[in-house]
Amino acid sequence: MTALPASASSSRSSEAAHAHEAVLVCGVNWVGDSIMTMPALQAFRRAHPNAYITLLIKPPLTQLWKLHPVPNEILPLHSGFWGTLKTARLIRQRRYPRAFVLPHSFRSALVPFLSGVRERWGMPGHWRGAMMTRVVNPRPPQPGREHQAWEYMDLLLPGHKEQELERPQLNLPDEAVAAAKARLAALPKPCVGILPGAARGPSKRWPADHFINLGRSLVKEKHCSVVALGISREAALCRKVVEGIGEGALNLAGQTTLAEWIALLKVCDLVIANDSGGMHLAAAVGTPVVAIFGVTDPLRTGPLGRDCRIVQNSSVRNRDVERDSPEAIKSLASITPEQVFEQARELLDRATPS
């Protein structure tokens, strides 16, 4: 992928955008959702190997998408009303013939509409149908096709014949992986990454005390080291968990770049995570994952990996959950450390048979 700063590449980008197969993709806004769009983008690239694909995203996601092989260019979506107009003016100069709008929001459809993109494809929602030239209704979920990732496939490749979702591709630099291995080299093996945080708040966070009891069991019974990982605003939570676990635990939350965080997830022997962006990242780089779900539906938004286990006690399956949903918080609290430990033990034993 060639990631080009808009200010430094306007001539080259404009020429590329005039090409017959130039495509603008308006990306989604969260790490986990971004990962779920990747199988469809990879399938689109296979179907259109010569397309020049520009991905329009919010700036915090730039580092993630630099690791993905599909986009030829990453374009930042400027924030606010004036930022929307500025972005639209830039896109108008490039005269893209087609745009795919992956989010369901009104604003995501507004930018290509104001830009005069000739064909604007998107899914229904938020009173934006008039801004689309084609509204694509995803196929009804069927067994094996329940995951949200299929909606993006139906949008990008209507009438496709894809039978399964390819795992999201993240190409980490070799030096990032080597640095992650060196960072954990002194720790006992196996090394288990834990992700106590979740951007959605308490409705997706397993209680910290449960993570503490789980970590103690992993250290005592499986002789593991436990590494807490997360973003800066999760550092205090991770510190509390690591201090509660005691010897054998290390807190690295807030101490890594995104690429370093993903590399650490990759070199862990197992990751235990809430339903979060970190869960999706760990699965994407091929690490076995135990994912803890409250009332969100793992069939719809579960990790896209080869070796993932779901722990969930609720029979409720909601797509959208409030940040402080009492039902979700209660459901998560009902999941015992013993339940999660059993799934972790099975995955660790499979990786290191006696």
| CA-based nearest residue to 203, from 147, 104, 276, 140 | 276
Q: Read off the pLDDT of residues 62-94 as tens digits, 9 standing for 90 and up.
A: 999 999 999 999 999 998 999 999 999 999 999
Q: Is the pLDDT of residue 317 over 90?
A: no
Q: Do domains 6-156 and 176-351 have the same CATH topology?
A: yes
Tokens 């076995």 found at:
288
At 268 the three-state DSSP class reads coil
Domains of the chain, by residue range, sit at 6-156, 176-351
Of the ranges 48-57, 312-321, 325-334, 335-344, which one carries the lowest mean pLDDT score? 312-321
- Rounded to the nearest integer, the mean pLDDT of the chain is 92
HEC assignment per residue over 198-265: CCCCHHHCCCHHHHHHHHHHHHHHHCCEEEECCCHHHHHHHHHHHHHHCCCEEECCCCCCHHHHHHHH
CA atoms within 13 A on the CB side of 17: 27
Position 322, amino acid: E
Range 328-334, long-range pairs (CB < 8 A, 24+ positions): 328/202, 328/203, 328/204, 328/294, 328/295, 328/296, 329/202, 329/203, 329/294, 331/294, 331/295, 332/203, 332/204, 332/205, 332/206, 332/207, 332/292, 332/294, 333/207, 333/210
Domain 6-156: give its CATH superfamily: Glycogen Phosphorylase B; (3.40.50.2000)
Q: Read off the pLDDT of residues 202-216 as tens digits, 9 standing for 90 and up.
A: 999 999 999 999 999
What count of residues does the chain have?
354
Q: Read off the pLDDT of residues 87-104 as tens digits, 9 standing for 90 and up.
A: 999 999 999 999 999 999
Fold of 176-351: Rossmann fold (3.40.50)
Q: Read off the pLDDT of residues 163-179 as tens digits, 9 standing for 90 and up.
A: 899 999 999 999 999 99
Angstrom distance (rounded) from CA 328 to CA 316: 9
Tell me the average pLDDT across 306-330: 90
Indicate the DSSP class of residue 318.
B
Position 21, amino acid: E
